[in-house]
Amino acid sequence: MATDPRQADPNRTLDLLWDVQAPPTRGPKPALSVRQIVDAAIAIADAEGVAAVSMRRVADDLGYTTMSLYRYVPSKTDLLDLMVEHAMHVADLPAGLTEWRDKLRWWATDTVDLYRRRRWALDVPLNSPPMGPNQIKRMEQGLAALDDTGLSGGEMLGILVVLSGYVRGHAQLATTLADVEKRTGTSQAVWDQAYGRMLTTFVNPDEHPTLARIVTQDAFDGYAEPDDEWLGDDFRFGLDLVLDGIARYVERRQDAMSPE
């Protein structure tokens, strides 16, 4: 049975990401480029979200037929992977950062800032570990930050998985909360008021003793009026917890490797 050329092919996607795919051999001389198609798709996602992106919509915006785009980008899966790769440009590590903790703090903060600017990237499913040049550059930066700690390659990769999970999870939470009015037609302030009513009306010391005590201590005040819609203070607090855990692990492993 013949394979549908528009079906996702991981090796074809890899060649597209690294720009080593063979040029089209049939039809007229190429009038488009993969980058033109990807840039048009990114413009749509920036304006309307990734759900608005389709091969037909991109073709219409470029003034071509849908089938003509498949000569360059054979599937929508390929297109989405290329969009994330090109939209999530990775900056160089700033000069002057020497400690692994400072490097990973920059790494995490820069990554979450990219998600802030390209919120739609969080809606693109992850089909594989990082494969594109920008994603591999990001991975190299994180691994290089840990390279002098004495950890094994497997340990360093595991730390990046944990840190990446925290960054992506925070970005998804912040995006969901920031878009609540668009999604529900009701402002975040009204949702916050309802949440406050729940805390003061339905949380009671008999059933929820710890939560009730925290409510009476006004611990939720900072959450009722967050510093910004992206929950920046929450991100920094959580990042410190993650980095503290990594630091303790590094210390424990270095102690174990030190001669007695």
Q: Are residues 138 and 83 in the same domain?
A: no
Q: Are residues 81 and 107 in the same domain?
A: no
How many distinct structural domains can be found in the chain? 2
Q: What values do phi and psi take at 217, rounded to 5? A: -90, 10
Last residue of a domain, one of 32, 66, 87: 87
More confident residue, 247 or 21: 247
Range of the domain at 27: 10-87
% pLDDT > 70, the chain: 91
Q: What integer pLDDT is reported at residue 237 of this predicted model?
A: 93
Q: Are residues 33 and 59 in the same domain?
A: yes
Q: Is residue 27 part of a domain?
A: yes
Q: Are residues 240 and 136 in the same domain?
A: yes
CA pair distance 86, 41, nearest whole angstrom: 11
Q: What is the CB-side half-sphere exposure of residue 30 using CA atoms within 13 A?
A: 15
Statement: residue 92 has pLDDT above 80: yes
Q: Are residues 174 and 71 in the same domain?
A: no
Q: Are residues 83 and 104 in the same domain?
A: no
The whole-chain average pLDDT of the chain stands at 90
Q: Is residue 117 part of a domain?
A: yes
Condensed to tens digits (0 to 9), the pLDDT of residues 112-131 reads 999 999 999 999 998 888 89
Mean pLDDT confidence for 178-193: 90
Q: What integer pLDDT is reported at residue 257 of this predicted model?
A: 83
Q: Are residues 18 and 79 in the same domain?
A: yes
Q: Is residue 4 part of a domain?
A: no
Yes or no: say if 157 and 143 are a contact pair by the CB < 8 Å rule.
Answer: yes
More confident residue, 218 or 87: 87
Q: Is residue 221 part of a domain?
A: no
Statement: residue 1 has pLDDT above 70: no
Q: Are residues 241 and 172 in the same domain?
A: yes
Q: Are residues 130 and 246 in the same domain?
A: yes
CA pair distance 170, 237, nearest whole angstrom: 11
Q: What is the CB neighbour count within 10 angstroms for residue 41?
A: 28
Q: What integer pLDDT is reported at residue 5 of this predicted model?
A: 56
Q: What integer pLDDT is reported at residue 226 of this predicted model?
A: 53
Give burial (CB, 10 Å; 0-12/13-18/19+) of 62.
middle
Output the domain CATH number for residue 28: 1.10.10.60
Minimum mean pLDDT range among 120-134, 153-167, 188-202, 223-237: 223-237
Condensed to tens digits (0 to 9), the pLDDT of residues 9-61 reads 899 999 999 999 766 566 566 689 999 999 999 999 999 999 999 999 999 99
CA pair distance 83, 38, nearest whole angstrom: 6
Q: Are residues 109 and 42 in the same domain?
A: no
Q: Are residues 77 and 169 in the same domain?
A: no
Minimum mean pLDDT range among 27-36, 150-159, 222-231: 222-231
User: Is the full-model pTM beyond 0.75?
Assistant: yes
Q: What integer pLDDT is reported at residue 224 of this predicted model?
A: 47
Tokens 């503290």 -> residue: 244
Q: Are residues 119 and 244 in the same domain?
A: yes
